[in-house]
Amino acid sequence: MTGFDGNIGVLAGPSKNPSRISETMSRICIRRRHEKGLEEARRAIERVAQRIAERFEIGYAWRGNRLLFERPGVEGSITVEDSAVAVEAELSFWLFALRGTIEREIERYLEEALG
Answer yes or no: are the C-beta atoms of 114 and 46 closer than 8 Å: no
CATH of residue 103: 3.30.310.50
pLDDT band at 25 (very low <50, low <70, confident <90, very high): low
Amino acid 88 reads E
| Dist CA 64 CA 3 (whole Å) | 17
When mean pLDDT is compared across 1-5, 45-49, 50-54, 71-75, the lowest value belongs to: 1-5
In the predicted structure, residue 54 carries a pLDDT above the cut 70 = yes
If you average pLDDT over every residue of the chain, what do you get? 81
Domain interval for residue 37: 2-114
- Number of domains, the chain: 1
Q: Which residues pair with 110 in a beta bridge?
A: none
68 touches 61 (CB < 8 A): yes
Is pLDDT of 69 > 80? Answer: yes
